Amino acid sequence: MDNVKRLLPYVRPHLQALLLGAICMVLSAVLGGVFVLLAKDVLGPMLNGGPAAERLYKLDYFTILVLAVSLLRMVTDYGQTYITQRTGQRVLARLRLDLFSHFQALSVGFFEQRRTGEILSRMTNDLGALQSILTLAVVTTISSPLRLVIYIGLMVHFNWRLSLFVLVVLPPVALLISATGRRIKVATTSLQRRLAELTNYLQERVAAMRLIQTFGTKDYEIQLFEQVNHETFRSTMKPIRIQAVLSPAIEFTGMLGVLLSLWFGGRDVIAGHMQSEALLTFLFSMQQVAMQVKSISGLNLMVRQADAAAARLFEILDTKPEVCDVPDAIDLSQREVRGHIVFDDVYFSYQTGPEVLHGISFEIKPDEVVALAGLSGSGKTTISALVPRLYDPTKGKVLVDGHDLRDVSMASLRAHIGAVPQETILFHGTIRDNIAYGRPQATLEQIVEAARRANADDFIRAQPEGYDTQIGERGGRLSGGQRQRIAIARAFLRDPRILILDEATSSLDAESESKVQEALAKLMEGRTTLIIAHRFSTIQHADRILVLDNGCIAESGKHEELLQQRGRYYSLYQMQAFASRHGVNEQALDGEAKDSAA
């Protein structure tokens, strides 16, 4: 229940609307009680006999009153439904926005430790589970208890002795609801986890559909999904079974109360101690009491389900980012950034894993091009991730223009950094939108100029709708070289002072690689550049090459100097040259070299 209570701050801004909705609920409940009184005081005498003219008058009177009450109830029911649903949806929208905003603030490590499908499930399945508590439950919380009080009051008014049967029925129902609520929360928590696993499974398989079809593993995937789907089905049925037991049990208990009231009340009517219409309206009121009790039991289940879902949502919202700004952080937007980068005795490890960087120290002067070379796992990517402060060093410092990055505003730091990753990341949308991603206020002229400098303007203009061409999810309608040049155009438009290149030509054909390399060369002019090297042939003109080995800098120098030393760089270069001549998979050789080094 504590997690549901934490939703109150989201509801508080809408209290005026909820108050209006509550007024509609009260009016609707009161009008329901008025209808019962009309049935007894008007319909009863009309049916019991008397002059025909008088009975016809009462029939007309009853019909008009019931029509008026029904119209008023229609208006109040519309008001309570629309207002509460609208308020609930606004709360959900705000909660969804807060979750998405919080995701943006969380560190990269958070997303690396969790599956994408699980995160998506929090935004979809868990929020969906909250929808009932924020819409239907609001109505039930106010309306059902009020109607319960009104109809119990009418029962006492008609016959207080028969009303005592309510005291016999309600306690066991309350105990049943309480016990069921605890079980439904446990079952719902398990269900939400299963739904997250299902969402993650689907997300992974849809993303890998090309691989699945290439390998022809359709039947195997169907078998795997059948298992996941069956487990989800079993988890879904657990709360359904609990609810299926509770509803008939409440109805049976309520019917038992009605039968007892009918048996004793019928004897009073036969004995002349009670009017028949009073008994009928009493039984109608008792039936309404049973309906409200059933509604309240449903509310209890909704609250338990919502509590389980809210717990998973607030687990995310309570997660603190590992990397965050310090108070009064330095704003680099107010200063001239030269791009002077210094790593000062930097150590780093991921969470509780082993140390991957050991005492790294080096300097990149403004406008200098420095490349990182080494086997996979040697620390190249980790170093490049420390520059935009995706992580903080475990020990030591990373400085830009003499400022420790931990003292600098992340937003102002990253505003001066551009990146062209090895795996180009494009979004579903137009070519224009993707180029302008890092600078959305850019004009079309600026976008075109950036594309021209990236050797992308020609192929873009050849597209069906030019810069307004939709490129599909992840740019799937473009070739690898075209995607890379759009990424380079995006970096040109951003005009960063510091550039990080995760060499992006290893999987391109010769023609595409030539165009991309030409564009990268222009992009690096006048910028401090850090290159993660995969193919040594592309870093021969770097001002300096740092050779990493098991998280340490083993060698440093220009390409020719390192070859003359015949050390680690020379061995790696020869290995790659051999792979190129004989068509051997470079990654396989890379793995063999790592095993040999070990």
pTM of the predicted structure, to 2 decimals = 0.72
pLDDT at 593: 46
Token pair 């510091």 is found at 498
Q: Which residues contact 231 (CB under 8 A, 6 or more apart)?
A: 194, 197
Q: Given 3-state DSSP classes, what are the helix, strand and coil percentages for the chain, each rounded to the nearest 5?
A: 70, 10, 20
User: CA-CA distance, 446 to 458, in Å (whole number)?
Assistant: 16
Domains of the chain (ranges; CATH) run 2-317 (1.20.1560.10), 328-413+500-507+528-598 (3.40.50.300), 417-495 (3.40.50.300)
Q: How many CA atoms lie within 13 A of 93 on its CB side?
A: 6
Strand 552-557 versus strand 544-549 pairing type: antiparallel
User: CA-CA distance, 395 to 388, in Å (whole number)?
Assistant: 17
Distance of CA 186 to CAs 181, 238, 244, Å?
Answer: 9, 10, 16
What's phi and psi for 363, nearest 5 deg? -135, 140
> Is the CB of residue 165 less than 8 Å from the CB of residue 261?
yes
> Is the CB of residue 373 less than 8 Å from the CB of residue 536?
yes
H helix intervals, 208-217: 209-215
Query: Which one-letter DSSP state was computed for residue 321?
Result: P
Q: For the chain, what's the residue count?
A: 598
Distance of CA 242 to CAs 128, 304, 518, Å?
Answer: 20, 12, 66
Bin 216: left if φ > 0, else alpha if -120 < ψ < 50, else beta: left
Q: Which residues pair with 502 in a beta bridge?
A: 532
Q: How far is CA 247 from the centre of its chain?
A: 33
The pair of structure tokens assigned to 43 is: 């319909």
Closest of 393, 419, 377 to residue 520, by C-alpha: 419
Token pair 């106010």 is found at 142
Token pair 């009080």 is found at 149
Q: Which residues pair with 395 in a beta bridge?
A: 347
User: CA-CA distance, 434 to 424, in Å (whole number)?
Assistant: 11
Distance of CA 524 to CAs 367, 415, 497, 499, Å?
Answer: 8, 17, 10, 7
pLDDT at 136: 66
Strand 341-349 versus strand 355-364 pairing type: antiparallel
User: CA-CA distance, 76 to 557, in Å (whole number)?
Assistant: 80
Strand 341-349 versus strand 395-400 pairing type: antiparallel
Q: How many CA atoms lie within 13 A of 526 on its CB side?
A: 5
User: CA-CA distance, 59 to 62, in Å (whole number)?
Assistant: 5
pLDDT at 557: 92
Query: Which one-letter DSSP state was computed for residue 534?
Result: S
pLDDT at 224: 84
Per-residue pLDDT of the chain (598 residues; tens, 9 = 90+): 567 778 888 888 888 887 888 788 788 878 877 777 766 666 666 656 667 777 777 777 777 877 888 888 888 888 888 888 888 888 888 888 888 888 888 888 888 777 777 788 777 778 877 776 676 666 667 677 777 787 788 777 777 777 777 666 667 777 776 677 677 777 777 887 788 788 878 877 877 776 777 677 778 888 888 888 888 888 888 877 877 777 677 677 767 777 777 777 777 777 777 777 677 777 777 777 777 777 777 676 677 777 778 888 888 888 888 888 999 899 988 888 899 999 999 999 987 778 899 999 999 999 999 999 988 888 898 999 999 999 999 999 999 999 999 999 998 999 899 888 877 788 888 889 989 887 888 899 999 998 988 888 888 899 888 989 888 777 778 888 888 888 888 888 888 899 998 866 655 656 667 777 888 888 888 899 999 887 777 788 889 999 999 899 999 999 999 999 988 988 888 887 766 665 555 444 454 444 444 3
Q: How far is CA 516 from the centre of its chain?
A: 36
User: CA-CA distance, 559 to 543, in Å (whole number)?
Assistant: 9
SS3 106: coil
Burial code (b: 16+ CB inside 10 Å, e: under 16) for 32-55 equals bbbbbebbbebbbebeeeeeeeee
What's phi and psi for 490, nearest 5 deg? -60, -40
Closest of 339, 359, 335, 336 to residue 347, by C-alpha: 359
Strand 498-502 versus strand 417-420 pairing type: parallel
